[in-house]
A and B are shown apart, each in its own frame.
Chain A
Amino acid sequence: MTNLYQSILLILPEIVVSSVLIILVLSDLIFHKDKRVIPFIAGLGIIVTGAFVINQFGITGFAFQTSSQTVRNYGMMAIDSFGVFFKLIVTASSLLILFFSHASNEIQKTKDRLGEYYALIFGMILGMFFMISATDMILIYLSMEMMSLSSYVLAGFTKLRDRSSEASLKYLIYGAVSSGLMLFGISIVYGMTGSTNLYVINSLIQAPQINLFALSFAIVLIFAGIGYKISSAPFHFWTPDVYEGAPITITAFLSVASKAAGFALLIRFIKTTFVSYIDSNGSWTLINVFDWKPILIGISILTMTLGNFSALWQDNLKRMLAYSSIAHAGYLLLGLVVFSNQGLIAILIYFIVYLLMNLGAFLIVMLVANKTGSEEIDDYNGLGYTSPLLAVSFAIFLISLTGLPPTAGFIGKLYLFIALVDAKMIFVAVIALLNSVVSLYYYIRVLKHMYLVKPTESTATVVPSLNNRILVLALAAPVLIFGIYFAPIVDLAKNCLVILGL
């Protein structure tokens, strides 16, 4: 381990996150009388983390190289701009979630446990950071479990409500089963190659004596583990119930950050393990051992269709947004199906947009739920008259989620469709387009309740505080701005394509 010092320099953001986690645990003990200071420590921690992540831009390298045996120079973690991008997404959403938590009645009611709440959020962030840059299956498994364990607890955090602890149990059982399946898959891959490092596996599975049937079986099992994290089709059953039962802040966090980490892991896993080379056009050539393309196309079409059609009859907005986030996982998978840098750019752009619009939608749902205590669609009757700011911003977020201009959601979808059309997958693009049309129905239904149904006597008037108004505007404004002036996010995405390869 001559390179320990260098490796530590490469994982500074992770070190900051883990230090903040420990500081939070300690300060929870020190300030146990008055816990108002803890959110500030957490916020400061996130900002410092973000600074370290940004500082890493442009640096590439392997951290923690294994020096044993035959293979050298491939590390446990790869630090590259692709990873930095996803870490930024996670950091940004965590910062917003901290603001949300501050505004949420649900969370503020559990004042005594705030220290644990923030510590567990940092546990999740740490897990996600390692998931994003891990290139060794041991680290992948551990970081996934780290994130999952923290999120199981957070999903059941408001444990007095039945729904919350049930959501937690359901999440836990599904999660444990899927990680068990993944582990069995990993063990088969290890047996076939004698290594857990993705780069070594990449070079070994090209050998002719590999048993393709066993390898495919193992890969399907591993996909079960990752697919569960991104809630793609056959493994999405937990999503609606967990999203509905968990506190809204955690639901929002799961739907953005945890999905981002899952996608980063999936992309890195496929790219480093199964891609043999990238030609000058930026399209990836897969090693001829496992045909990802038809499988991923099938899964993504299934995911978005199931998500969109199930969302049609939901009266609970949290549940509806859960199905909509399943559908969005389907759209995002389409970017991967293309297997080219162009598709990757589309995914990255989509993630920036998705972060803004999805968190924004959850914020409005939370502010209304703060007042009314529920998320039923009838609570939104006449919101356009009683509280115009919330209604207008909600309309912006929902239109953006549908993917209509002039919002940022349109730009995200546009780049995805262009990538699909360029790869001559018109048929898939048409299905995705039809899906967007279906999704229009349930998003517009909310608008109808907000504007066309007059408020009755009993409907509560929601008046957000000044801070919350600023927060709403801070999310709604970029959605509109990036819908018209989208060059910056495209440039950012284009600069973040480096996935450390062979």
Chain B
Amino acid sequence: MSSVPMEYYLILSAFMFIVGVTGVLIRRNAIVVFMCIELMLNSANLSLVTFSSYLGNPIGQIFVFFVMTVAAAEAAVGLAIIIAIFRNKLTVNIDEINIFKW
């Protein structure tokens, strides 16, 4: 562990975060948008674990544990909403859901 500088992990985390944000902005499939949000959450998790491990205190890892709980709950609710929309509209493309003005 000691031979990998902390910045490397953080830059990887920042990169994944940015990729996630870009994905949210450019993708149109609501489910893929969701997966990009998971990517953002995971990048935050990576930086939390990195800090936790380099600081030698467990708070960061506990936080990650809770973030995973939230991510699971959010995925369940989100996918249920997407299914509800699909039943009405037969699409999950957020451009075709017409009230949406992004």
Contact = CB atoms under 8 A, between A and B. Distances in A.
B97 interface: yes
A148 B38 CA distance: 17
Contacts of A165: 81, 84-85, 88
A277 interface: no
A34 to B, nearest CB: 27
A180 B41 contact: yes
Nearest to B52: A190
Interface in A298-356: none
A138 to B, nearest CB: 5
B44 interface: yes
A166 B99 contact: yes
A163 B33 contact: no
Given A184-B40, A195-B59, A241-B101, A166 B85 contact: yes
Contacts of A190: 48, 51, 59-60, 63
A176 B34 contact: yes
Given A141-B66, A180-B44, A170 B89 contact: no
Contacts of A137: 63
If over half of A's interface residues share one DSSP class (helix, strand or loop), that class is named, otherwise mixed; here it is: helix
Interface in B63-92: 63, 66-67, 70, 73-74, 77-78, 80-82, 84-85, 88-89
Contacts of B74: 145, 149, 172, 176
Interface stretch (A97-105, A151-159, A205-213, A370-378): A151-159
A176 B78 CA distance: 9
A187 B48 contact: yes
Interface in A60-114: 69
Given A145-B74, A168-B81, A191-B51, A180 B37 contact: yes
Contact of B57 (A160, A181, A194, A245): A194
Contacts of B62: 138
B26 interface: no
Nearest to B17: A184
Q: How large is the interface on B (under 10, 10 to 19, 20 to 34, 35 or more residues)?
A: 35 or more
A194 B53 CA distance: 11
Nearest to A168: B81
B19 interface: no
Nearest to A148: B74
A187 B41 contact: no
A69 B24 contact: no
Given A145-B70, A173-B33, A195-B59, A166 B97 contact: yes
Interface in A117-156: 137-138, 141-142, 145, 149, 152-153, 156
B73 A145 contact: yes
Interface of A: 69, 137-138, 141-142, 145, 149, 152-153, 156, 159-160, 162-163, 165-170, 172-173, 176-177, 179-181, 183-184, 186-188, 190-191, 194-196, 237, 241, 245
Nearest to B64: A187
Contacts of A149: 73-74, 77
A479 B55 CA distance: 54
A169 B67 contact: no
Nearest to B43: A184
Contact of B37 (A163, A168, A176, A186): A176
A187 B13 CA distance: 11
Contacts of B51: 187, 190-191, 194
A169 B55 contact: no
- Which among A159, A177, A184, A194 has the greatest number of chain B C-beta atoms within 10 A? A184
Contacts of A180: 20, 37, 40-41, 44
Nearest to A138: B63
A20 B47 CA distance: 38
- Which among A69, A141, A183 has the greatest number of chain B C-beta atoms within 10 A? A183
B17 to A, nearest CB: 6
B81 A169 contact: yes
26 contacts: A138-B62, A142-B66, A149-B73, A152-B77, A152-B81, A159-B84, A162-B89, A165-B84, A169-B97, A170-B100, A172-B74, A172-B77, A172-B78, A173-B94, A177-B24, A184-B40, A186-B63, A187-B51, A187-B63, A190-B63, A191-B55, A194-B55, A194-B57, A195-B59, A196-B59, A241-B101
Contact of B67 (A160, A177, A183): A183
A187 B55 contact: no
Contacts of A191: 10, 47, 50-51, 55
